[in-house]
C-alpha cells in the first residue's frame, strides 16, 4: 500500500508546492484535498493527486477518497485547524486541535497573553476604543496583513471598522467573526522568531512597506540584534507559545521591539510564510518545511544547522499603479553577485497596484553572503534591477 501524506488545501504560492515535494523525498505520496483544485496549478504540473471535497469540514474530508494517510497537515493558515482535527480523529501526530483553532483568533491570543487590545463588534465601539492615536485596526482572524491599517483619526477608524465588519467570509470562503481589534500602535523594529517545538531555529529581521499598511517587503537572517534584545525576543516567543497551548512543530512569532521591551504582535501555529522558510534554509541549512512534514509523519525532524551564512530577501512591490513587463529584468537581477534566486509571480500585462497586503507582492530576490551587509546589499541591488519590470501606468506609457 502506498504511504500518503494528506495536505488539506495549500498555500497558492511559496511553500505549498514544497510540502508536496518534501513528502515525496521522504517516500510518501502527497494527496491534496481541495474544494477548488484550480487554485493549485502546481498540483497538475507535479502530478499531485487531488481529491475534491468540502475542506472546511473535517468529517467531509474523512468521507472523501483520501485512503489511509500516514500524516495530515496544511500549509495554509486557514486550514491548519481542520488538518489538526483530522489528524486527531485518525490518531496521527499533530498539534492540539483546540489550541490551534483558538490561536487563529487574535482576540483570543490577546486575552490569553494580556496584550493591549480592545475587541469591537461595531463601528461605534471601535471609535470609542481609539483613545490615543495612532491606533492599528485588524480583523480578528486573518493572514498576510490583509485588512490591517494604521489609523490617525476617528474618521479613519470608523471607515476601516465598517469595511472590516462588512466582511463575512475570508478569501477561502470560510466564515469570519464580526470582530475588529483596536490596538495601540507599537513603534519599533519588527522581528519574528521561528520556533520548532522549543528549539529556536532563527530570529528574523522584518522590513515593512510604507504606512498606513503593514506589508512585509523583506527579511534578513540573522537579525543582527544585540544579544540582550535577542534573548528577550526568544523568551517572549517561548512564553507565548506555551501560554497558548502550542508546541507541536513550527511556530512563527512576530514581535516589535519598543522602548519598553518586546511587544508581541501575533503567534502563528505554523511555519512562516513570506518565503521565510527558504530564507532560513539558505542561511542555516535547516529546512522548516522538511521538519514540519517529518513531524506530522511521526519522523524525527532534522533541526541541525549545517551552514552559517547571511541571507536577505526583498519583495518587489509597486509604488504607483504599474504594468508588469518582465523583459530581461529577472536575468539582470539574477546576475548580481550573491543572488541565489530572482522571480516574478505574474504574467506580462498584469496591472499592479501599490501594495496593501501580501497579495500585491509581484516578485522577490534572495541573496546570500558571508556577512549581513553583503547579503542586504546584493538583495537591494537585485531588487533595483527587478524593479525595471514595473512600468508606471500613465499617459506617456
User: Are 272 and 192 within 8 A, CB to CB?
Assistant: yes
Grid cell listed for 44: 497538475
In angstroms, the CA 217 to CA 210 distance is 10
In angstroms, the CA 153 to CA 77 distance is 31
Grid cell listed for 88: 486527531
DSSP reduced 3-state for 145: coil
Strands 351-352 and 49-52, bridge-based pairing: unpaired
The DSSP letter of residue 114 is T
CA-nearest of 36, 361, 387, 22 to 216 is: 361
Query: What residues does 323 pair with on adjacent strands?
Result: 351, 391
Grid cell listed for 10: 495549500
Where is 383: in which H helix or E strand?
A: helix 372-386
DSSP reduced 3-state for 369: strand
In angstroms, the CA 214 to CA 106 distance is 16
Would you call 331 exposed, middle or buried from its count of C-beta atoms within 10 A (0-12, 13-18, 19+)?
exposed
Active site (annotated) includes residue 238: no
Q: Cα dihedral sign for 352, 356, 358, 359?
A: negative
Strands 250-258 and 190-196, bridge-based pairing: antiparallel
In angstroms, the CA 72 to CA 85 distance is 9
Catalytic pick from 17, 85, 270, 356?
A: 270
The DSSP letter of residue 79 is G
Cis peptide preceding 352, ω within 30 of 0: no
CA angle 282, 286, 291 (to 5 degrees): 135
DSSP reduced 3-state for 181: strand
Grid cell listed for 54: 468540502
DSSP reduced 3-state for 105: coil
Catalytic residues: 270
Amino acid at each position: 500500500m502506498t504511504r500518503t501524506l494528506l495536505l488539506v488545501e495549500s498555500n497558492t504560492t511559496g511553500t505549498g508546492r514544497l510540502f508536496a515535494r518534501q513528502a515525496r523525498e521522504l517516500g510518501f505520496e502527497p494527496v491534496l484535498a481541495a474544494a477548488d483544485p484550480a487554485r493549485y496549478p502546481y498540483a497538475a504540473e507535479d502530478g499531485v493527486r487531488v481529491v475534491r471535497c468540502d475542506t472546511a469540514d473535517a468529517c467531509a474530508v474523512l468521507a472523501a477518497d483520501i485512503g489511509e494517510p500516514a500524516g495530515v497537515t496544511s500549509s495554509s493558515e486557514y486550514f491548519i485547524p481542520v488538518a489538526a482535527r483530522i489528524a486527531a480523529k485518525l490518531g496521527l501526530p499533530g498539534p492540539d486541535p483546540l489550541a490551534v483553532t483558538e490561536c487563529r483568533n487574535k482576540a483570543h491570543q490577546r486575552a490569553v497573553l494580556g496584550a493591549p487590545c480592545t475587541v469591537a463588534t461595531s463601528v461605534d465601539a471601535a471609535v470609542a476604543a481609539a483613545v490615543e492615536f495612532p491606533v492599528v485596526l485588524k480583523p480578528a482572524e486573518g493572514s498576510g496583513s490583509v485588512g490591517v491599517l494604521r489609523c490617525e483619526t476617528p474618521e479613519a477608524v470608523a471607515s476601516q471598522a465598517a469595511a472590516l465588519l462588512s466582511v463575512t467570509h475570508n478569501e477561502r470562503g470560510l466564515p469570519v467573526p464580526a470582530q475588529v481589534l483596536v490596538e495601540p500602535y507599537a513603534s519599533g523594529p519588527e522581528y519574528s522568531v521561528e520556533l520548532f517545538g522549543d528549539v529556536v531555529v532563527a530570529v528574523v529581521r522584518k522590513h515593512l512597506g510604507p504606512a498606513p499598511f503593514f506589508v512585509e517587503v523583506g527579511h534578513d537572517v540573522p537579525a543582527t540584534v544585540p544579544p540582550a534584545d535577542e534573548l528577550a525576543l526568544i523568551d517572549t516567543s517561548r512564553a507565548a507559545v506555551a501560554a497558548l497551548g502550542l508546541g507541536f512543530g513550527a511556530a512563527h512569532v512576530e514581535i516589535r521591539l519598543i522602548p519598553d521591551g518586546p511587544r508581541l504582535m501575533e503567534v502563528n501555529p505554523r511555519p512562516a510564510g513570506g518565503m521565510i522558510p527558504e530564507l532560513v534554509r539558505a542561511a542555516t541549512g535547516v529546512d522548516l518545511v522538511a521538519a514540519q512534514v517529518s513531524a506530522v509523519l511521526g519522523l524525527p525532524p532534522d533541526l541541525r544547522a549545517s551552514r552559517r551564512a547571511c541571507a536577505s530577501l526583498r519583495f518587489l512591490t509597486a509604488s504607483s499603479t504599474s504594468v508588469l513587463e518582465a523583459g530581461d529584468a529577472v536575468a539582470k537581477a539574477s546576475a548580481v553577485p550573491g543572488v541565489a534566486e530572482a522571480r516574478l509571480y505574474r504574467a506580462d500585462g498584469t496591472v499592479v497596484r501599490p501594495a496593501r497586503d501580501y497579495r500585491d507582492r509581484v516578485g522577490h530576490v534572495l541573496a546570500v553572503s558571508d556577512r549581513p551587509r553583503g547579503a542586504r546589499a546584493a538583495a537591494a541591488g537585485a531588487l533595483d534591477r527587478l524593479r525595471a519590470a514595473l512600468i508606471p501606468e500613465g499617459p506617456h506609457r
